[in-house]
Amino acid sequence: MIDVHVPVLVVGGGGAGLTASMLLSTYGVEHLVVSAMPTTSVLPKAHVLQQRAMEVLRDVGCAQRVYQAGTPRENMSHTAWYLDVAGSDFAGRLISKMECWDGGGADPAWVAASPCRQANLPQIRLEPLLKQRAEELNPGGVRFGNELVALEQDDSGVVATITDRGTGRQYRVRCEYLIGADGGRTVGTLLGVGMDGLRDVMRTVSIHMSADLSPWLHDPEVLIRWIVHTRYGGAFSVLVPMGPDSWGPDSEEWVVHMNFPPELEEQFDTDEKVLAVMRDRLGIPDFDPKVHMITRWSVEGLLATTTTIGRVFLVGDAAHRHPPTGGLGLNSAIHDVYNLCWKIAHVAQGKAGPALLSTYHPERYPSFARNTQRSIENALNHLAIIDALGVKPDLDAETCHDNVLELWDEGPVGHERRVAVAGVLASQSMEFKEHNVEYGFRAESSAVLTDGTPEPVNEDDVRIYQPGTRPGSPLPHAWVERTGERRALREVAPPTHWMLMAGEDGAAWCAAAVTAGAARGIDLAAFRVGHVGGDWLDPRLAFVRVHEFGRSGAILVRPDRVVAWRSFTPDGDPLARIGAALDRVLTRAG
Which of 14-22, 264-272, 405-413, 420-428 is the region at the interface with ligand FAD (rule: CB under 6 A)? Answer: 14-22
Nearest residue (CB) to ligand FAD, 14 versus 503: 14
375 binds ligand FAD (CB under 6 A): no
**Is there a contact between 33 and 14 (Cβ–Cβ < 8 Å)?**
no
**DSSP-derived pairing of the beta strands 554-557 and 498-502:** antiparallel
Residues 241-300 that bind ligand FAD (CB under 6 A): 297
Minimum separation from the CB atom of position 190 to ligand FAD (A) = 9
Which of 31-39, 70-78, 105-113, 419-427 is the region at the interface with ligand FAD (rule: CB under 6 A)? Answer: 31-39
Sole binder of ligand FAD in the list 123, 138, 259, 473 (CB under 6 A): 123
Nearest residue (CB) to ligand FAD, 16 versus 581: 16
Sole binder of ligand FAD in the list 129, 148, 448, 557 (CB under 6 A): 148
Question: Cα(375)–Cα(380) distance, rounded to whole angstroms?
Answer: 9
Minimum separation from the CB atom of position 76 to ligand FAD (A) = 11
What one-letter code names the amino acid at 144?
A: F
Nearest residue (CB) to ligand FAD, 34 versus 389: 34
Nearest residue (CB) to ligand FAD, 180 versus 467: 180
**Is there a contact between 8 and 179 (Cβ–Cβ < 8 Å)?**
yes
Nearest residue (CB) to ligand FAD, 326 versus 506: 326
Question: Cα(495)–Cα(555) distance, rounded to whole angstroms?
Answer: 17
141 binds ligand FAD (CB under 6 A): no
Bridge partners (DSSP) listed for residue 536: 529
Minimum separation from the CB atom of position 495 to ligand FAD (A) = 20
143 binds ligand FAD (CB under 6 A): no
Sole binder of ligand FAD in the list 15, 249, 474, 476 (CB under 6 A): 15
| Nearest residue to 379 via CA among 323, 328, 424 | 323
Q: What is the largest CA-CA distance in the chain?
A: 81
Q: Which helix (H) or strand (E) covers residue 146, if one does? A: strand 146-154
- How many chain residues are in contact with ligand FAD, going by CB under 6 A? 35
| Nearest residue to 481 via CA among 540, 522, 437 | 540
Minimum separation from the CB atom of position 295 to ligand FAD (A) = 8
Sole binder of ligand FAD in the list 17, 474, 530, 553 (CB under 6 A): 17
Strand ranges inside 70-114, DSSP E: 78-83, 93-99
Bridge partners (DSSP) listed for residue 291: 209
Sole binder of ligand FAD in the list 186, 230, 359, 367 (CB under 6 A): 186
Cis before 220 (ω within 30): no
Nearest residue (CB) to ligand FAD, 261 versus 456: 261
Residues 156-185 that bind ligand FAD (CB under 6 A): 181-183, 185
**Phi, psi (5° rounding) for residue 546?**
-115, -5
Contacts of 526 (CB under 8 A, 6+ apart): 499, 500, 501, 502, 509, 510, 511, 513, 514, 517
Nearest residue (CB) to ligand FAD, 207 versus 563: 207
Question: Cα(562)–Cα(476) distance, rounded to whole angstroms?
Answer: 9
**Phi, psi (5° rounding) for residue 429?**
-65, -15
Nearest residue (CB) to ligand FAD, 59 versus 182: 182
Contacts of 401 (CB under 8 A, 6+ apart): 90, 230, 231
Residues 41-80 that bind ligand FAD (CB under 6 A): 41, 45-48
36 binds ligand FAD (CB under 6 A): yes
Sign of CA dihedral 362, 364, 368, 373: positive
Residues 188-217 that bind ligand FAD (CB under 6 A): 206
Nearest residue (CB) to ligand FAD, 84 versus 147: 147
Residues 331-370 that bind ligand FAD (CB under 6 A): 331, 333
Nearest residue (CB) to ligand FAD, 188 versus 472: 188
Q: What is the CA radius of gyration of the chain?
A: 25
What one-letter code names the amino acid at 171?
A: Y
301 binds ligand FAD (CB under 6 A): no
Minimum separation from the CB atom of position 473 to ligand FAD (A) = 22
Question: Cα(476)–Cα(435) distance, rounded to whole angstroms?
Answer: 13
Which of 37-45, 502-510, 542-550, 563-571 is the region at the interface with ligand FAD (rule: CB under 6 A)? Answer: 37-45
Long-range (24+ apart) CB contacts under 8 A made by 105-114 are 105/73, 105/77, 106/77, 107/433, 109/435, 109/464, 109/465, 110/51, 110/435, 112/477, 112/542, 113/51, 113/435, 113/439, 113/465, 113/467, 113/477, 114/51, 114/52, 114/54, 114/55, 114/477, 114/488
Interface mask toward ligand FAD for 315-334; x: CB under 6 A:
-xx------x--xxxxx-x-
Nearest residue (CB) to ligand FAD, 55 versus 147: 147
Interface mask toward ligand FAD for 83-122; x: CB under 6 A:
----------------------------------------
| Nearest residue to 213 via CA among 136, 281, 273 | 281
Minimum separation from the CB atom of position 132 to ligand FAD (A) = 15
Which residues form the interface with ligand FAD (CB under 6 A)?
Answer: 11-17, 34-37, 41, 45-48, 123, 147-148, 181-183, 185-186, 206, 297, 316-317, 324, 327-331, 333
